[in-house]
């Protein structure tokens, strides 16, 4: 069967894909033309894995193709269960006085994800090692060598890690919070996954042109949310802030590999400060 993009209503757009309404209960994540089949196939496989594991993730519906992917106008897509409801981020912006219950629910959801064995998913440690190799243009060989030694000394675990856990990737639907965008998910140490979320809260910028007052309020709310989230997560899991700190440097290299211009300088400074490089 041949499909046309123009037949379907656009309901969302991100950096790598558009979301199209597909009937009343499904949504097609349609990737941009430059997306590699291997990347899209990986997200579909991971999404099936976490849904089968009982995590709050959308169901995946396969096309009648070898790998289950849809192809529309030369673009690859994954058909998901449609989750109607705002993101936690949007709802928090609408009701900022709910920051405490939202941050606590966010922590509980992350802890639940980390309770699931991740065997069968790509290994996070291999992603970290590749990111260190790719950082050659930004970090000296001495710094990268120290990061590798530090990573080798860190404990190994094989738990489900989302890879990009933040409030905009949680949809508040009728059957409770649902986590989306599982493409970067891997099997690894939960605190590495928490470290990614911490770095995102610390370094991800608000959109250009945002008024200064809004920036200030956003910064204060972000810090408060992060503090409540971490405190709740540590209580729920028995893990510690000290152990989390040991993961920030290696995971900062992983975030550096995303090559986001607004974050690059601050990430390099953090990494060099921790591993003895030139700032």
Predicted pLDDT at 213: 57
User: Does 95 lie in the same domain as 77?
Assistant: no
Distance of CA 264 to CAs 15, 107, 114, 257, 272, Å?
A: 18, 27, 28, 9, 12
Of 187, 181, 159, nearest to 40 (Cα)?
Answer: 181
Q: 58 and 51 in contact (C-beta within 8 Å)? A: yes
CATH of the domain at 56: 3.30.200.20
Percent of the chain with pLDDT over 70: 91
Predicted pLDDT at 1: 45
User: Does 97 lie in the same domain as 51?
Assistant: no
pTM score, whole prediction: 0.90
User: Does 129 lie in the same domain as 61?
Assistant: no
- State pLDDT tens for residues 180-205: 999 999 999 999 999 999 999 998 77
| Domain limits for position 167 | 88-275
- State pLDDT tens for residues 51-92: 999 999 999 998 888 888 998 888 999 999 999 899 999 899
User: Does 198 lie in the same domain as 65?
Assistant: no
CATH of the domain at 112: 3.90.1200.10
Predicted pLDDT at 93: 85
Give the rounded distance of the alpha carbon of 48 from its chain centre.
17
- In the chain, the number of structural domains is 2
* Three-state DSSP class for residue 179: strand
User: Does 99 lie in the same domain as 58?
Assistant: no
- State pLDDT tens for residues 215-236: 666 778 899 999 999 999 999 9
Of 110, 106, 250, 105, nearest to 194 (Cα)?
Answer: 110
User: Does 137 lie in the same domain as 77?
Assistant: no
Q: Which of 81, 112, 133 is the last residue of a domain?
A: 81
């Amino acid at each position: 069967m041949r499909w046309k993009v123009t037949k379907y209503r656009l309901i969302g757009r991100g950096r790598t894909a558009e979301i199209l309404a597909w009937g009343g209960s499904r949504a097609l994540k349609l990737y941009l033309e430059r997306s590699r089949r291997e990347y899209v196939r990986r997200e579909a496989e991971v999404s099936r894995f976490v849904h089968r594991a009982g995590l709050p993730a959308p169901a995946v519906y396969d096309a009648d193709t070898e790998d289950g992917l849809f192809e529309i106008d030369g673009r690859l897509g994954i058909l998901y269960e449609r989750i109607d409801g705002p993101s936690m981020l949007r709802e928090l912006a609408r009701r900022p006085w709910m920051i405490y219950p939202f941050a606590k629910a966010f922590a509980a959801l992350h802890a639940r994800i980390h309770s699931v064995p991740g065997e069968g998913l790509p290994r996070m440690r291999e992603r970290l090692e590749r990111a260190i190799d790719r950082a050659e243009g930004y970090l000296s060989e001495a710094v990268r060598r120290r990061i590798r030694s530090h990573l080798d000394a860190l404990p190994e675990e094989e738990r489900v890690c989302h890879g990009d856990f933040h409030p905009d990737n949680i949809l508040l639907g009728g059957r409770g919070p649902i986590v989306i965008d599982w493409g970067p998910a891997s099997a690894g140490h939960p605190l590495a996954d928490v470290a990614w979320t911490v770095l995102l809260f610390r370094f991800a910028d608000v959109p250009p042109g945002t008024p200064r007052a809004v920036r200030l309020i956003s910064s204060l709310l972000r810090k408060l949310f992060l503090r409540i989230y971490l405190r709740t997560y540590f209580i729920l899991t028995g893990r510690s802030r000290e152990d989390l700190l040991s993961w920030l440097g290696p995971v900062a290299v992983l975030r550096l590999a995303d090559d986001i211009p607004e974050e690059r300088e601050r990430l390099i400074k953090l990494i060099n400060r921790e591993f003895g490089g030139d700032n």
